[in-house]
Every structure is written in structure tokens, then in C-alpha cells.
Amino acid sequence: MIFFWSSLFINSIKISRLVFLFIVGCSPVQNQNNNIAIFKSYQATEVFAAGYTGISEKYIDDISIEDIAIEGIRGLGTIDPDLTISFSRASNNLRAINVNNKILNSEIILSFQGKEIIRKETPPSDDINKWSILTTEISVAAMRASPELRSASLESVYEAIFDGVLSNLDIFSRYFGAEEALRNRNKRDGFGGIGIRFEELNGLPVIVSVLKDTPAEMAGLLRGDSITHINGNGVKGLKKREVLGLLHGPIHTQIELTFIRPTIQKPRIISVLRAHIFPDSITQTISNGIIELTLKSFNQNTARSLSQKLEDARNLLGENMKGIILDLRGNPGGLLKQSVKVVDLLLTQGMIISTQGRHSDSLNQYEAGGRDLAVGLPVAVLLDGKSASAAEIVAAALQDRSRAVIIGTTSFGKGSVQTVIRLPNNGEIQLTWSRLVTPSGYMFHGLGIRPEICTSGLTNNSEKIIRQVINKREKILKMLTNWRKVTLNDKLKRAKLRNTCPSERRLEDLESSIAKYLITHPSIYQHALELSTDSNAANY
């Protein structure tokens, strides 16, 4: 995941700051709501410039600074619908609004309840700094006019403006305020913590699990321990996020915990050194030589955790190891590079996935170069309608490379990649900047991954379902071939294809039982695997 803070406007930041000084100096701040003063002190122009630059440079489709800023300013109306934006021909009559509603030296007018509040001449369409300054000026004027905007938080204003832009692009591009962005970074990259999960009970945080190989485990904390104090401060009655705020901190810093345990009479105090915590996103079961791995998401530790679990299982089972089930049902995705690394654990060479976008950095091709930790044994992947993004990358790559049989329903169909633009206010813009292309050459965005064995609407009898697949081999083969040939713009045909195996949320054991049957019947597994192989061949 790429973090981006635009530098194109850095040389003009001094101009922005002069504009802020001018606005502050010319307005009676002491008579205004504090939010207006806070808005200025946060150097809003720099935040807007960073966001506008990132969007215009990196979005998958071309979009001008002018269009970005206009939609952003219009977003203020989501806080107070009485705020409206309109345009008129500039007084010098040099340019006017053309038929495509492009602004050609016009004036932008902010009105509140039909009364004009501010009128400004629009900048050149590609002038990032001037459009950012204009956004700030109009935002401040809107705050002065609108009680609702004055009472809104600063983050609400940023969210209204950036969502005004992003909501017109696609459903996956959005803005996150500083607090939510920090939580997202923790999910993606891990965080400084001690490695516990807890729930509130009688006003105290009670440990419900201790993560393996973490400071909490090494310090001897156990499930059922109730934390009473953190660094000497009582935590009774605090909200969960407040307790997390005290537990989390810089890596290698010390934290003192006071806790009580049902089996001991007096509270105990221990010191724990925070470490980089990566929540384990994988659970594992082993039965009859089959390793079933449920991947909940893809974070920075997913591939490493999967590798370790496969190595341990292989050492445990030896020649009794029969195959692997990757359960990706309900997996919403995560980090692209982690999905690539997961595939690399099962392939030794060849294409995994490629990405295509407008920005040069969005053009990538990922190739396998690892070692097959399953040593050629059967692999089955379980999908459902909630399997998306990174989960779909794994399924598509293993299917197209004839390394796994896919079982379940058509996946969600999120075949786009988002980059993260980090802003000066520590907020983030998650922006779509490329589309994914499978090894066989099709884009699954809006289409999804089609299983060889479809379980939509079914609840039992795995053997019967497998026999039906064998009997309908030619029909399924044709379906998979068409799936890989349909173009991205043929939405009608893509919808019809999806309806051949409707996307569903699957919570039953049917998919798992089918996978186990295939793995324990190698000839039938091979028959199912050849559906992918043969449909691939039809595309070359």
C-alpha cells in the first residue's frame, strides 16, 4: 500500500500561509465560533492541496483540479443544504461557462438560504494552489453564514469536502479522518501494543484472549485477568477505545499494568514492553491429513503466518499430509502484496496478477518465484459473495494457473486497487488507482471469480453436487471460457454471467465437505481441476 503526500505545491505554501494571515487579520475572530479559528490554524489550504493533487494525479480516470475542487465545495451542502453553489460570467466578459458546464473565467457564488455570501473569480483549471485557497475561503465564509457548519467539527468539514469529490468517482474511494485513519494504519501495519483482546465486564477490561508470542504472553497474562490500572491510572468505566489508547503506544516503550486474577487474592503489578503487534488473521484445523486454513483478512502478517502454519503442518503430518483448504469465505481483502505473497507460497513460477492504471506507478506485474509449500498436493479454495479484493486475487491466480479448485459462489467482484494518500492533518484518502488483471487476461471488477463447483442455493449432499459437475462438464467449461472472454464494458453480459452462480454469503459446511471429498478422491479432484485448465486453453 502506497502512502503519498503531495510535494508539488510545497514551493507555494508560503503564499497559502500569507492568505491565511490575511483572512485572520481581516476578520473579527473573537466574535466568531471557535471552529473558524481552528479551521484556519489547521492550514486547511495545505490539506486541500495535498488531497486535490493526489486525486488528480493518481485516480484511475483523468479528472481535472477544477472538477475536483468544484465537487468538493459543493460537498459543504451535505452539512447544511441551505448552502448552495452557483456560477456566473465574470465581469470582464473574457470567458464564460461553456455547454459542458466547464468554468471559463466565471465567478463562483456561495449563497445561504438564497442570499449571496461570497463571490470569487474562478482560478485557471489546473492551478492547484489557487483552487485550494478558494476552497478554504469559501469554507470560512460558509462557516460564518451557517450555524450548522459552525457547530460541525473540523473533521466533518474535511469529510464533507473530500467526500463531495470522492462520492462522484466510485464506491471504494473515500476520505478517513485522522482518528479513523490511525485505526486503518494499525490494521494494515500493526501497532505498538502488548497482544491482548479484552471485553468490558463490570466496568473493567477483562482479557478474553492473549495472542501468541506477544509481550502479554511472555509477561504471564491470562484469559480472565481484569485490568484495573494502566500506568497507575484507574481504568474502571473507561470506554474500550480509551483503554486501547492507553495500551497502544510507541514500540519498545514500557507500560505498567495492575490486574486482578480470580485465583489470586491481591492485585498484581507488572511491567510490559510494547512490541509491534500483528493480529493473526488465520485460524487452522487439521483433520484426516487435510489442513483447513481460514483467512479472515490480509494484513502485513498474513503471508508470514500462513507460511509458518503450512511448515508446521507439513512437519507434523509428513507423508500423511493430503491437501490444503483455503477458506476465503467472508474475507473482505486487504493488502495486495500480501495476497501475492500468499499465492507465491503455492506456486513456483509464472504470473500471479497484474495491475493497470493511469499513473505509471500503478502499472505492475507480479510473478511467482517461491516454493510450493503444499508440495504439489491438492488445494481447494472456498469463496462466497463476501470474498473480495485480495481474497479474489488469490482465488483467480490459483484458478487460472490450475493450482486449485474453486468451490462456492461467485465472489464480490472488487477488482480495483486503492492507494492511500496521507494528508497533512493525518487523515487519509483511499483512492482507486488501478484495476486487476488475472493471469488469463480478464478483469474481474464487477464480475467476480466463478467457482468450478457452484453451491449457490444448495445446502447438502456434496457427493451429488460433485457428480452434477462431472455430468455438466461441457456446460461449465463453456461458462468459464466466456467468463474469461467478456469485456469490462459489457455490463449486461457480465451480469448474466454472474447470475449463473449467484453471489451469496455462505456460512454452511457444504463447501468444506466438498473440498475434503475432492482432496480424498484424487481422480475426481483432477477432473474438477481440468475445468480451469481447459477453459484457460480456450483463451490462448
Residues belonging to the active site: 389, 400, 414
Structure letter (DSSP) for residue 362: G
Q: HSE (CB half, 13 Å, CA atoms) of 267?
A: 12
Q: How far, in whole angstroms, is CA 72 from its chain's centroid?
A: 22
Neighbours of 41 (CB within 10 A): 11
SS3 (DSSP) at 282: strand
> Cell numbers at residue 240, please?
474500550
d(CA 150, CA 164): 19
CA distances from 104 to 97, 121, 345 (A): 5, 10, 55
Q: What residues does 275 pair with on adjacent strands?
A: 193
d(CA 237, CA 168): 42
E strands, 220-331, in order? 226-230, 233-234, 254-260, 268-273, 275-277, 282-287, 290-295, 323-327
**Site of grid cell 505554501:** 13
- Continuous segment of H or E residues that includes residue 456: none
Q: List phi, psi (to 5°) of 144.
A: -65, -35
Residue 417 identity: V
C-alpha dihedral sign at 355, 358, 362, 368: positive
Q: Nearest 10 degrees: CA dihedral of 401, 403, 404, 410? A: -10
Residue 217 identity: E
Largest CA distance in the chain: 85
> Cell numbers at residue 313, please?
503442518
Neighbours of 356 (CB within 10 A): 15
d(CA 278, CA 297): 12
| Residues whose CB is less than 8 angstroms from the CB of residue 337 and which lie 6 or more positions away in sequence, other chains included | 1
> Cell numbers at residue 413, please?
467482484
Could you tell me how many helices (H) and strands (E) the chain has, helices first? 18, 23
